[in-house]
């Protein structure tokens, strides 16, 4: 932020840009400014991007912003996206490639009322379940398929899928028996609304063996053939992972940096500090390189989609280690 202000001041004075002008990188986030993306804001604020001769612009997301559409339209060089959405987009003609995977674990889960008789996944049949869409529904649909539970409506052996907005109202208002939540965000919104953890039962996708990779970094395949772009991405990943590891070690300070960049003023200190603590559990164990076993598990989960799978065949060329190899070695 400070760097951008200084650059604007120099431009206003009519001064020529220096010969060593940094390479521009535009990053599109999957959601709004929050601790889910702390590593990137830390790298920006702490000067890690500047050290790599990069001028990084971070674009917040939102309910009406799809990272895949942004990058397809040329609005970003790199996007934060969940792998199910990225692989589905690739199969549909948008050649996204995973170049780094800062998140090692999934934070996605289903949060249910504990007084409606749900004790195990098999009990989800004949229930109303809140599900996020815009690509976030894919892990859920694959999970239901593996359980042999249909999604055609509330009936024996099926569920009614409630298209969930990005809030927890359907659970609080008893419109749904369960809703989609993240360990670092919506679950705590339920708790903050006055619900006791003892009143809830949760099913983490990681525990159910159907977790898919979240919050990876993706670029368009054609750009990777440009050596200058590949070098720029290696520097970007190196600086970003430095930011992530700093955030893991300094969660409260990282959350305060995020708050400084929240132009909406909608985030609170307590929520962001708590979120950063939970997010640190998901980035722990990752140096940015994609774990092939995690990738293969994600693909297997998505292929197990019954009559309507997320993807119909194993992808080819959907990830590369070239960027992280260059960044980390």
pLDDT digits (tens, 9 = 90+) for 141-185: 888 988 999 998 887 889 999 999 879 999 999 999 999 999 999
Q: How confident is the model at residue 210 (pLDDT cuts 50, 70, 90)?
A: confident
The b-or-e profile of 178-216 (16+ CB within 10 A means b, else e) is bbbbbbbbbbbbbbeeebeeeebbbbbbbebebbbbbbb
**Among residues 204, 238, 270, which one ends one of the domains?**
204
Question: Looking at the predicted structure, is the pLDDT value of residue 113 above 50?
Answer: yes
Give yes or no: residues 322 and 200 share one domain. no
Residue 188's pLDDT is 96
Give yes or no: residues 199 and 255 share one domain. no
Residue 137's pLDDT is 83
The residue range of the domain holding 35 is: 2-105+213-328
Residue 4's pLDDT is 43
CATH number of the domain bearing residue 32: 3.40.190.10
Give yes or no: residues 167 and 271 share one domain. no
Q: What is the mean pLDDT of residues 313-328?
A: 97
Residue 11's pLDDT is 43
Average pLDDT, the chain: 91
Q: What is the mean pLDDT of residues 22-29?
A: 97
Rg (CA), the chain: 20
Residue 260's pLDDT is 97
Q: What is the mean pLDDT of residues 294-321?
A: 87
Residue 20's pLDDT is 67
Side-chain half-sphere CA neighbours of 64 within 13 A: 0
Give yes or no: residues 114 and 9 share one domain. no
Please give the distance of CA 47 from its chain centroid, rounded to a whole number: 23
Residue 9's pLDDT is 38
Angle at 189 between CA 183 and CA 195, to 5 degrees: 105
Residue 10's pLDDT is 36
Residue 133's pLDDT is 81
Of 51-55, 137-141, 193-197, which range is least confident? 137-141
- Number of structural domains (the chain) is 2
Q: What is the mean pLDDT of residues 236-254?
A: 98
pLDDT > 70: what percent of the chain?
A: 92
Residue 153's pLDDT is 87
Give yes or no: residues 16 and 139 share one domain. no
Side-chain half-sphere CA neighbours of 96 within 13 A: 31
Question: Looking at the predicted structure, is the pLDDT value of residue 19 above 60?
Answer: no
Give yes or no: residues 101 and 120 share one domain. no
Give yes or no: residues 92 and 221 share one domain. yes
Give yes or no: residues 293 and 307 share one domain. yes
**Among residues 170, 204, 238, which one ends one of the domains?**
204
Give yes or no: residues 192 and 235 share one domain. no
**Among residues 204, 230, 249, which one ends one of the domains?**
204
Question: Looking at the predicted structure, is the pLDDT value of residue 135 above 80?
Answer: no
Residue 308's pLDDT is 67
Task: Outline where the chain has alpha helix (H).
Answer: 2-12, 38-45, 48-51, 67-72, 83-91, 138-147, 169-172, 186-192, 227-249, 251-261, 269-283, 292-303, 322-328
Give yes or no: residues 232 and 310 share one domain. yes
């Amino acid at each position: 932020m400070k760097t951008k202000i200084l650059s604007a001041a120099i431009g206003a004075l009519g001064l020529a840009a220096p010969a060593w002008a940094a390479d521009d990188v535009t990053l599109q986030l999957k959601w709004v400014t929050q601790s889910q993306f702390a590593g990137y804001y830390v790298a920006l604020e702490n000067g890690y991007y500047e050290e790599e001769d990069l001028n990084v612009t971070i674009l917040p997301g939102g309910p009406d912003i799809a990272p895949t559409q942004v990058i397809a339209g040329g609005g970003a060089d790199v996007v934060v996206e969940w792998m199910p959405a990225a692989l589905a987009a690739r199969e549909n003609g948008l050649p996204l490639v995973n170049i780094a995977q800062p998140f090692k674990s999934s934070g996605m889960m289903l949060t249910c009322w504990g007084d409606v008789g749900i004790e195990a996944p098999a009990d989800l049949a004949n229930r109303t379940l809140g599900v996020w869409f815009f690509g976030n529904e894919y892990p859920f649909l694959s999970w239901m398929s593996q359980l042999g539970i249909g999604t055609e409506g509330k009936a024996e052996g099926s569920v009614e899928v409630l298209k969930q907005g990005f809030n927890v109202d359907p659970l609080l208002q008893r419109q749904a028996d369960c809703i989609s939540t993240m360990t670092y965000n919506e679950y705590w919104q339920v708790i903050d609304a006055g619900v006791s953890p003892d009143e809830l039962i949760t099913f983490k996708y990681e525990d159910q063996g159907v977790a898919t990779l979240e919050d990876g970094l993706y670029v368009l395949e054609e750009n990777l053939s440009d050596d200058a772009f590949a070098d720029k991405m290696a520097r970007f990943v190196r600086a970003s992972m430095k930011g992530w590891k700093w955030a893991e070690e300094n969660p409260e300070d990282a959350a305060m940096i995020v708050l400084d960049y929240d132009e909406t003023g909608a985030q609170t200190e307590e929520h962001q500090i708590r979120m950063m603590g939970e997010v640190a559990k998901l980035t722990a164990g990752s140096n940015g390189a994609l774990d092939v076993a995690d990738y293969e598990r994600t693909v297997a989960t998505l292929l197990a989609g019954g009559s309507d799978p997320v993807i119909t065949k194993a992808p080819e060329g959907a990830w590369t280690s070239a960027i992280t190899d260059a960044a980390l070695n």
